[in-house]
Chains A and B, each alone.
Chain A
Amino acid sequence: MSTPTPRVRMPATAKAGEVIEVKTLISHEMETGQRKDSSGQTVPRRIIKKFVATFNGKEVLSADWHPAVAANPYQAFFVKVPETGTFEFSWFDDNGEIYKSAHKVTVG
């Protein structure tokens, strides 16, 4: 599997207190652990099990994902921008790796 690449779409500027939509996607096969390969061996489970969104280090929301989440998991949600700061998004892989993406939003 190629290295999972997170992609995030959100505005770079906002008004103070504005609610903005964040759209995130990460390329990942989300292997369920149910599938068998051509030789009949069960393909081991490897999914992204957790997603966390923070603003200036404080958690805004998180999500626990199970194998029922589709491949290349997409998640859209809403955040409020109280002041200029940085949103950070983290995806936690079953194999222990964490993929991160940081986005600064300027209030002005």
Chain B
Amino acid sequence: MAGKMKPRTRREFLGSSAAMAAAVAIGPSAALAKPDDVVAEIKKLFGDKPLTAGRIKLDLPTIAENGLVVPLNFEVQSPMTDNDYVKAVHFWADGNPNPQVASFNFTPMAPKAAAQIRIRLAQTQNIVAVAEMSDGKLFTAKQEVKVTIGGCGG
């Protein structure tokens, strides 16, 4: 986290000290997830099935001042009929102590594969979404959220 000693701009310094503060708050026992962990989680659920970008509309702030409460809205394009609906939508965060965030299971009784929740982010990181369709196809979307104050530890 400390990086190599090289001259840094004020902005870089402020950014990294905020990240360090977040890491210290979490404590040394809780290592943060890495992007590879999210890839591994996706593999665990879906194996090597291909992921296609698209169909998922993610609505997340690009900058979250407070990592404790970050609004997450999403909608997956689907007719939501008995034969063609969104079975599940999973979310991961690649810089939290635990990469899992939430999973939503939809049925054809739901008119829209959409929901709003509020999540915690420990630091600036990517939110990865994977939607699983009733025909087994997988769609994905990703967005980075910059976090000013981390949302973990106390």
A and B associate in one complex: yes
Q: Which residue numbers of A lie inside 8 Å of B, CB to CB?
A: 19, 32, 34-36, 42, 55, 58-71, 73-80
- Measured between C-beta atoms, what is the minimum distance from A19 to chain B in Å? 4
Task: Give A9 to B152 CA distance when docked, in angstroms.
Answer: 29
Assuming A60-B110, A63-B105, A78-B111, is B118 touching A36 (CB within 8 A)? no
Interface of A is mostly: strand
* Residue B153 is within 8 A (CB to CB) of chain A in the complex: yes
Q: Do B116 and A76 have beta carbons less than 8 Å apart?
A: yes
Chain A residues with Cβ under 8 A from B97's Cβ? 32, 34, 67
Assuming A34-B26, A35-B154, A77-B110, is B68 touching A69 (CB within 8 A)? no
Chain A residues with Cβ under 8 A from B26's Cβ? 34
How many residue pairs bridge A and B at CB < 8 Å?
104
Chain A residues with Cβ under 8 A from B126's Cβ? none
Q: Do A64 and B111 have beta carbons less than 8 Å apart?
A: no
Q: Do B118 and A73 have beta carbons less than 8 Å apart?
A: yes
Assuming A63-B102, A66-B101, A68-B93, is B115 touching A77 (CB within 8 A)? yes
Task: Give A28 to B118 CA distance when docked, in angstroms.
Answer: 13
Find the B residue at minimum CB distance from A20: B111
* Residue B30 is within 8 A (CB to CB) of chain A in the complex: yes
Chain B 9-45 interface residues, beta-carbon cutoff 8 Å to A: 26-27, 29-30
- Measured between C-beta atoms, what is the minimum distance from A105 to chain B in Å? 14
Chain B residues with Cβ under 8 A from A34's Cβ? 26-27, 30, 97, 152-153
Chain B residues with Cβ under 8 A from A73's Cβ? 117-118
- Contact partner, A69, options B30, B101, B107, Cβ 8 Å: B101
Assuming A60-B107, A69-B120, A70-B120, is B153 touching A35 (CB within 8 A)? yes
Q: Do A78 and B112 have beta carbons less than 8 Å apart?
A: yes
- Contact partner, A77, options B68, B93, B114, B154, Cβ 8 Å: B114
Supply 21 A–B pairs (Cβ within 8 Å), ascending by A. Answer: A32-B97, A32-B152, A34-B27, A36-B154, A42-B29, A59-B109, A61-B110, A61-B115, A67-B97, A68-B98, A68-B100, A68-B102, A69-B102, A69-B119, A69-B120, A70-B118, A73-B118, A74-B117, A77-B114, A78-B111, A80-B110
